[in-house]
Amino acid sequence: MSYKFYPDWYNNPPPARSYRSIFKWGSPSVFKHPNERLLKVIKDRLGMKDEDFKHKKNTGDETVKIDFPVKLNKIFLKKLEDIVGSENVLTDDYSRLKFAYGKTMLDLMRLRLKIAENIPDAVVSPRCKDEIKKIIELCDKNLVPITVYSGGSSVTRGVECPKGGISLNMQKYMKRILKINPVNQTVTVQPGISGPELEKALNNAQNLFSTKYNYTCGHFPQSFEYSTVGGWITTRGAGQNSTYYGKIENLVLSQEYLTPAGEIRTGEYPAHAMGPDLNQVMIGSEGVFGILVSATLKIFRLIPHSTRRFSFIFKSWQNAIDATREIMQAQFGFPSIFRLSDPEETEIALRMYGADFRIIQTFLRVKGYKLGESCLLIGTCDGDDDFTKLVSGKISEIASDYKAMSLSGLVAKAWEKSRFKDPYMRDDFLDFGIIVDTLECSACWDRIEHVWKRVTETCKKYPRTICMAHISHFYPQGANLYFTFFTKEDGIKEYLQIQNDMIGAIRQSGASLSHHHGIGKMIAPWFEGAVGKEHLDVLKALKKHFDPNNIMNPGGTLALDIPETEKK
Amino acid sequence: MSYKFYPDWYNNPPPARSYRSIFKWGSPSVFKHPNERLLKVIKDRLGMKDEDFKHKKNTGDETVKIDFPVKLNKIFLKKLEDIVGSENVLTDDYSRLKFAYGKTMLDLMRLRLKIAENIPDAVVSPRCKDEIKKIIELCDKNLVPITVYSGGSSVTRGVECPKGGISLNMQKYMKRILKINPVNQTVTVQPGISGPELEKALNNAQNLFSTKYNYTCGHFPQSFEYSTVGGWITTRGAGQNSTYYGKIENLVLSQEYLTPAGEIRTGEYPAHAMGPDLNQVMIGSEGVFGILVSATLKIFRLIPHSTRRFSFIFKSWQNAIDATREIMQAQFGFPSIFRLSDPEETEIALRMYGADFRIIQTFLRVKGYKLGESCLLIGTCDGDDDFTKLVSGKISEIASDYKAMSLSGLVAKAWEKSRFKDPYMRDDFLDFGIIVDTLECSACWDRIEHVWKRVTETCKKYPRTICMAHISHFYPQGANLYFTFFTKEDGIKEYLQIQNDMIGAIRQSGASLSHHHGIGKMIAPWFEGAVGKEHLDVLKALKKHFDPNNIMNPGGTLALDIPETEKK
The strand ranges marked E within B234-282 are: 252-259, 262-265
* pLDDT computed for residue B36 by the predictor: 86
Task: Give the single-character DSSP code of B222.
Answer: T
What residues of A are in contact with residue B533 (Cβ under 8 Å)? 262
Whole-angstrom distance, CA of residue A481 vs CA of residue A471 = 5
Beta bridge partners of B124: B89, B168
Q: What's the rounded mean pLDDT across residues A98-112?
A: 96
* pLDDT computed for residue B29 by the predictor: 95
Evaluate if residue A301 carries a pLDDT over 70.
yes
Q: How far is B450 from chain A (nearest CA, A)?
A: 14
| Nearest CA among A183, A231, A237 for reference residue A205 | A183
SS3 A68: coil
The answer to whether the CB atoms of B266 and A515 lie below 8 A apart is: no
Q: Nearest 5°: CA angle at A443, between A437 and A446?
A: 130
Q: Are B404 and B321 in contact (CB under 8 A)?
A: no
Give the residue ranges of DSSP H helices in A157-217: 195-203, 205-209
What pairing do the DSSP bridges indicate for beta strands B215-216 and B146-149? Answer: unpaired
Whole-angstrom distance, CA of residue B469 vs CA of residue B460 = 12
* pLDDT computed for residue A357 by the predictor: 66
The answer to whether the CB atoms of B535 and A473 lie below 8 A apart is: no
Whole-angstrom distance, CA of residue B474 vs CA of residue A271 = 9
* pLDDT computed for residue A99 by the predictor: 97
Q: How far is A77 from chain B (nearest CA, A)?
A: 30
Which of B267, B284, B446 has its CB closest to that of A183? B446
What residues of B are in contact with residue A298 (Cβ under 8 Å)? 476-477
Q: Are B102 and B52 in contact (CB under 8 A)?
A: no
Evaluate if residue A120 carries a pLDDT over 50.
yes
Contacts of A73-78 with C-beta under 8 Å, sequence gap 24+, read: A76/A138, A76/A142, A76/A144, A77/A122
Nearest residue of A to residue B334, measured between CA atoms:
A333
Whole-angstrom distance, CA of residue B90 vs CA of residue A505 = 50
Whole-angstrom distance, CA of residue B10 vs CA of residue A11 = 87
State the sign of the Cα–Cα–Cα–Cα dihedral A361, A367, A373, A378: negative
Could you tell me the CA-to-CA distances from B48 to B4, B10, B517 in Å, in that order? 15, 19, 31
* pLDDT computed for residue A38 by the predictor: 87
Average pLDDT, chain A: 95
Q: For each successive 10 residues of chain B (568 residues), what is the average pLDDT? A: 77 97 95 90 92 95 95 97 98 97 96 96 98 98 98 95 98 98 98 98 98 98 95 98 98 98 97 98 98 98 97 96 98 98 92 70 87 95 98 98 90 82 93 97 98 98 95 98 96 96 98 98 97 98 98 97 92
What residues of B are in contact with residue A330 (Cβ under 8 Å)? 301, 384
* pLDDT computed for residue B3 by the predictor: 59
Phi, psi (rounded to 5 degrees) for B534: -60, -35
> What angle do helix axes B533-546 and A533-546 make, rounded to 10 degrees?
140
Q: Are A374 and A316 in contact (CB under 8 A)?
A: yes
Q: What's the rounded mean pLDDT across residues A227-254?
A: 98
Interface test with B, best of A269, A332, A388 (most B CBs within 10 A): A269
The answer to whether the CB atoms of B538 and A531 lie below 8 A apart is: no
* pLDDT computed for residue A363 by the predictor: 84
> Which helix H or strand E contains B341, and what residues bound it?
strand B338-341
The answer to whether the CB atoms of B238 and A333 lie below 8 A apart is: no
Q: Are A266 and A321 in contact (CB under 8 A)?
A: no
* pLDDT computed for residue A317 by the predictor: 98
A and B: number of Cβ contacts within 8 A: 293
* pLDDT computed for residue A369 by the predictor: 93
SS3 A120: coil
The answer to whether the CB atoms of B539 and A275 lie below 8 A apart is: yes
Q: How far is B185 from chain A (nearest CA, A)?
A: 6
Evaluate if residue A1 carries a pLDDT over 50.
no
Q: What's the rounded mean pLDDT across residues A121-142?
A: 98
Q: How far is B217 from chain A (nearest CA, A)?
A: 14
Q: How far is A30 from chain B (nearest CA, A)?
A: 30
Which of A184, A387, A532 has its CB closest to that of B477? A184
What pairing do the DSSP bridges indicate for beta strands B252-259 and B215-216? Answer: unpaired
Q: Give the DSSP per-residue string, A271-299.
A: S--SSS-HHHHHTT-TTSS-EEEEEEEE-
Residue B193 is which amino acid? I
Contacts of B535-538 with C-beta under 8 Å, sequence gap 24+, read: B535/A264, B535/A265, B535/A266, B535/A278, B536/B560, B537/A261, B537/A262, B537/A545, B538/A264, B538/A278, B538/A281, B538/A542, B538/A545, B538/A546
The answer to whether the CB atoms of A390 and B394 lie below 8 A apart is: no
Nearest residue of A to residue B516, measured between CA atoms:
A273
Q: What are A519-542's pLDDT values in tens digits?
A: 999 999 999 999 999 999 999 999
Interface test with B, best of A180, A442, A538 (most B CBs within 10 A): A538
The answer to whether the CB atoms of A384 and B330 lie below 8 A apart is: yes
* pLDDT computed for residue B1 by the predictor: 42
